[in-house]
Chains A and B, each alone.
Chain A
Amino acid sequence: MLHAAIGYAASNLNSEAENYANVAQVTLKAIAAYAEDVRAGRHLKGQRPA
């Protein structure tokens, strides 16, 4: 049930149901932001200096 409570599944991206968290939406935003940084050649968050 933890899986549902934290909104882990990708189906939560389109869900308006109330959860304790929406991990799927947070993850989607994070990956999209990461992709933008990669494509722009920007420093990536959490990255050690090369």
Chain B
Amino acid sequence: MDLAALQQMKREGKKIVAVVAWDYQAAQIADRAGVDLVSVGDSVGVNLWGQQEGEITLGEMLIVCKAVRRGVKRALLSCDLPERESADAAMRLVEEGGADLVKLFASPELVRAVAQRGIPVFAEFHGDQGTPESLVKRAKHLEQAGASLLDFRHSGSEAGAAVAKAVSIPVLGGLAAARGSMGGFECCTPRSVTQLRI
């Protein structure tokens, strides 16, 4: 799997399957299940380690990313960039962590800075941050800044469809995103299979 294949899926109207994994075992199982993308979420800090939101460090993300990388052979691997980190840190996630792309919840400026270093960017934004029109505008800004994929959470059906139609890059949705026009994005770990969540 590569970014070109995801782009082709978007053009053909095929849904992209993505899951979050936080460890080597879950990564192997998700890869065997045939998902297209595995995302190392910084949610590992809160959900697995009992941290406070935003507490996770780059060093901790590197450890998790390396573990998941060992288990993912076929799917693309994305890793979250912790809050307040820079384009230099994104490069470390790729070079040391083995990530194929880096996920940012940040401004188009940081997306541009990371993309200009040749790192594919998976840009996250949320549907509860504006009207459908403003969300389409934000999605276009992120695409123009160099994002390769969008993670559009809490999209709602109207904005979700509008964003997926407005940009040429694939749009994934999690946490109650619209399902009709976007790929799926779930959270998984063998320990919490009964807690699969959107």
B1 within 8 A of A: no
Q: Which of A31, A35, A44, A46 contacts B179 (CB 8 A)?
A: A44
- B29 A46 Cβ-Cβ under 8 A: no
- A27 B29 Cβ-Cβ under 8 A: yes
Residues facing B in A5-50 (CB within 8 A) are 8-10, 13, 23-24, 26-28, 30-32, 34-35, 37-50
Q: How big is chain B's contact interface, by range?
A: 35 or more
Chain B: which residue is nearest A37 at the CB level?
B184
- A38 B26 Cβ-Cβ under 8 A: no
- Also in contact, A44 and B186, with CB within 8 A (given A30-B196, A31-B33, A50-B177): yes
CA distance A35 to B24 in the complex (A): 20
- Also in contact, A42 and B179, with CB within 8 A (given A13-B32, A31-B33): yes
Q: How far is the CB of B176 from chain A (nearest CB, A)?
A: 4
- A39 B193 Cβ-Cβ under 8 A: no
Q: Which of B33, B178, B179 contacts A32 (CB 8 A)?
A: B33
Chain A residues near B198: list those with CB within 8 A.
44, 46-48
- A10 B29 Cβ-Cβ under 8 A: yes
Q: How would you classify the secondary structure of chain B's contact residues: helix, strand, loop or mixed?
A: mixed
Q: How would you classify the secondary structure of chain A's contact residues: helix, strand, loop or mixed?
A: helix
Q: How far is the CB of B115 from chain A (nearest CB, A)?
A: 27
Q: How far is the CB of B163 from chain A (nearest CB, A)?
A: 13
Chain A: which residue is nearest B192 at the CB level?
A27
Interface centre among B26, B29, B196, B198 (most CB of A within 10 A): B29
Chain A residues near B26: list those with CB within 8 A.
27
Q: Which of B17, B34, B177, B190 contacts A24 (CB 8 A)?
A: B190
A27-B193, A31-B35 given. 11 additional CB < 8 A pairs? A9-B25, A23-B190, A26-B190, A28-B29, A31-B188, A34-B184, A38-B17, A39-B17, A41-B179, A48-B176, A50-B155
B28 within 8 A of A: yes
Q: Which of A23, A24, A38 contacts B184 (CB 8 A)?
A: A38
B84 within 8 A of A: no
